[in-house]
Structure 1
Amino acid sequence: MKRPTFRGSHVRRTSGVTALVLALLAPLAGCGSSAAGDGADAGPTVSKVDAIAALIPESLRSRGVLRVAVPDGSPPLASVDDSGAVVGMDPSLARALGGLMGLKVKLTAGSFDSQVPGLQSGKFDLAMGEYYVTADRLKSADFVSDWRDYSSFATRSADGWKPAGGQDLCGKKIGVMKGSAEEASVTTFNRKCSTPMTISSFPDQSASFLALNSSRIDAVVTGRGQLETAASTTKGFKISGEFGGGPCATAVARNGDSAKMLKAVQAGYAELIKSGTYLQILKKWNSDYGALDKPQIYTADSTPPKYS
């Protein structure tokens, strides 16, 4: 779950990953997991498309508001800036989808592992967090693919260690974000290790980098794009290797409106791709390396994608 440009931080650069952590934490101070609407960076203006608006369920049309959960503290995918606005690739895509549907968009930034429970309780209509579509997740929600990502490894620059693949993590102390695809994939891979990893799950990405900087863990496993962005602005850690990878998806609440909602979201992404707005948004956030050509629906009966 994974991603490219730190912004909103005017913290003076210090050394190593500490600067990265401060840059990540600064926009979040005092914001917590609050709801936020359109901010200074709402993304491109997208007009209503009648054919897509006709696909949404009546309950959503009557409400007039699309409720979307996004992860907090995961720039450039989603984070809260100094003004309290939710910004990033996911919020921009969410606002674009809402525009096509003729709906206002209410964004709620919170912890990644709270999103699917929020869908199940009826709090959200969609959750965007670079979800890998797994058999376990398909028990709880439906999905529409919207992007592609893979993971890499962040280690301290001063270390000689440069992991290339999963086998190199065996016997090491590894940090992942709680509820993320990396948490699941690293835990699964750990069963293959003759000397097991010690895996620590953190509530957000900034906490994992703090642990890396303080030598409590040996590496952070997270999205390649996010690491590339961090490396372009911060010294003190290096990037290596490739781990996992495949299509990521928007989670759709599973309820009586699911069938219509899935078609509306799929049609929305298809329209954004066709019009060029999708690529425009991804380029803005330096995440176009993960662009998909065609959105695909996944439900409880679907065979999940294979992730390398």
Structure 2
Amino acid sequence: MTASSTRRTTAAHSRPAAVGAIAVAGALLLTGCGDQTQNNGSDGGTAATSSAPLADMLPQTIRDEGVIKVGSDIAYAPVEFKDSSGRTVGIDPDLAAAMGKQLGVEFRFQNGTFDTLLTGLRSKRYHIAMSAMTDSPERQKGIDPNTGKKVGEGVDFVDYFTAGVSIYTRKGDDQGIRTWSDLCGKKVVLQRGTVSEDLAKAEAEKCPKDKKLSIEAFDNDQQAQTRLRAGGADAGSSDFPVAAYAVKTSGGGNDFQLVGEQVEAAPYGIAVAKDQTRLRDALKAALDAIIDNGEYDKILRKWGVVDGAVKEATINGGA
């Protein structure tokens, strides 16, 4: 998820219809984001350090603790969300669990509002942030994309997935919406601090004065969906995997529909503090290991998002 650059973030380069066809959404049905609760379920990925091939790459303090604390907005199905039993599940927790086996630690997810995750990282509440966060130059540099001013130290990203942004409407009520320019004169709901909000603000500046685009932003995507479902808006926007999952699952597939094509395809990255290069490099090695051994592909297939797969982990690949 990217604070105006927390995608779940700031704009990356456009590439229409990249991350996968709507067929991907169908596969999402194979399964099934704040407070500061933490997840202690089996998805943590605990592993004995002695049997973990990459354990010695981690900082000693993390090895001693046996835990990597993960800041995440756990309300972004299917990337990360709570299942019916309250357990944290999704693409990110599954990938983290597989990485944990390589590193000999548990990835412990802690729930937080998306636009506060990087602040939590800077204050050392978390070791990393993993939450469908788009890797962008602004985040890397700690720049507020709306003002162009530096607001923090910036972070490094370990990129692990690619996703675009989609628009969705109530089913059977698309009102002729196909592109972002079609939103002029209408109201869109979305999650605060995401690339969807960035795109909506940019489009609003281009709309004619007599066709103003109204934007209502929420703390999480589920709240935005509820507003649209109740008729309080004309359209919603979120990352494609999330929008597709909502379309296929909300109301048994009867609430929403995708309109138009994806835009702004960009990498999701695990955010790490700039001074934690050893941790960053260990995460990259663990991701490369699960890509090589097939676990990565297996997890993406489970969630129906293989079209967003990368061939190798990269550092700061967002541009």
Alignment correspondent of 1:244: 264
Whole-Å Cα distance in 1 between the matches of residues 253 and 212 of structure 2? 31
Whole-Å Cα distance in 2 between the matches of residues 224 and 243 of structure 1? 9
Q: Which of residues 245, 267, 276 in structure 1 aligns to 2:294? A: 276
Whether the aligned pair in 2 keeps the contact of 1:80 and 1:109 (CA below 8 Å) is: no
Whether the aligned pair in 2 keeps the contact of 1:70 and 1:129 (CA below 8 Å) is: yes
Alignment correspondent of 1:215: 231
Whole-Å Cα distance in 2 between the matches of residues 274 and 145 of structure 1? 16
Can you list the C-alpha shifts for 1:194-249, whole angstroms capped at 9, x where unaligned?
A: 34421111111111111112222111011222222233332032111223212111
SS of alignment partner, residue 35 of structure 1: coil
- The CA deviation at 1:157 is 2.1
Whether the aligned pair in 2 keeps the contact of 1:144 and 1:295 (CA below 8 Å) is: yes
Alignment correspondent of 1:21: none
**1:229 has 2:231 as partner:** no
**1:37 has 2:37 as partner:** no
Whether the aligned pair in 1 keeps the contact of 2:169 and 2:235 (CA below 8 Å) is: yes
Whether the aligned pair in 1 keeps the contact of 2:266 and 2:318 (CA below 8 Å) is: no
Whole-Å Cα distance in 2 between the matches of residues 131 and 141 of structure 1? 12
> What residue ranges of structure 2 are gaps of 5+ in the alignment?
2-7, 9-24, 143-153
Matches within 5 A, 1:169-188: 169-188=183-202
Alignment correspondent of 2:99: 97
Structure-2 change in CA distance of 1:200 and 1:283 (3 Å): same
- The CA deviation at 1:44 is 8.4
Whole-Å Cα distance in 1 between the matches of residues 75 and 29 of structure 2? 12
Alignment: residue pair count? 276
Q: TM-score, normalised by structure 1?
A: 0.81
- Aligned-partner residue type, residue 227 of structure 1: A
Whether the aligned pair in 2 keeps the contact of 1:156 and 1:212 (CA below 8 Å) is: yes
SS of alignment partner, residue 121 of structure 2: helix
Matches within 5 A, 1:92-241: 92-138=94-140, 139=142, 140-194=154-208, 195-232=211-248, 233-241=252-260
Q: Over aligned residue pairs, what C-alpha RMSD do you find?
A: 2.5
Whether the aligned pair in 2 keeps the contact of 1:80 and 1:86 (CA below 8 Å) is: yes
Whether the aligned pair in 2 keeps the contact of 1:79 and 1:109 (CA below 8 Å) is: no
SS of alignment partner, residue 208 of structure 1: helix
Can you list the C-alpha shifts for 1:21-42, whole angstroms capped at 9, x where unaligned?
A: xxxxxxx9xx954111124xx3
Whether the aligned pair in 1 keeps the contact of 2:163 and 2:239 (CA below 8 Å) is: yes
Identical aligned residues as a percent: 26
Whole-Å Cα distance in 2 between the matches of residues 44 and 55 of structure 1? 17
> What residue ranges of structure 1 are gaps of 5+ in the alignment?
9-27
Alignment correspondent of 1:11: none
Whole-Å Cα distance in 2 between the matches of residues 185 and 89 of structure 1? 25
Q: TM-score, normalised by structure 2?
A: 0.78
Alignment correspondent of 1:15: none
- The CA deviation at 1:70 is 2.1
Whole-Å Cα distance in 1 between the matches of residues 263 and 244 of structure 2? 15
Whole-Å Cα distance in 1 between the matches of residues 174 and 78 of structure 2? 29
Whether the aligned pair in 1 keeps the contact of 2:180 and 2:203 (CA below 8 Å) is: yes
Whole-Å Cα distance in 2 between the matches of residues 153 and 46 of structure 1? 40
- The CA deviation at 1:66 is 0.9
Whether the aligned pair in 2 keeps the contact of 1:145 and 1:250 (CA below 8 Å) is: yes
SS of alignment partner, residue 215 of structure 1: coil
- Aligned-partner residue type, residue 160 of structure 2: D
Q: Which of residues 270, 273, 287 in structure 2 aligns to 1:253? A: 273
Whole-Å Cα distance in 2 between the matches of residues 291 and 280 of structure 1? 11
Whole-Å Cα distance in 2 between the matches of residues 33 and 293 of structure 1? 34
Alignment correspondent of 1:73: 75
Structure-2 change in CA distance of 1:168 and 1:175 (3 Å): same
Whole-Å Cα distance in 2 between the matches of residues 44 and 35 of structure 1? 14
Whether the aligned pair in 1 keeps the contact of 2:70 and 2:130 (CA below 8 Å) is: yes
Whole-Å Cα distance in 2 between the matches of residues 297 and 148 of structure 1? 14
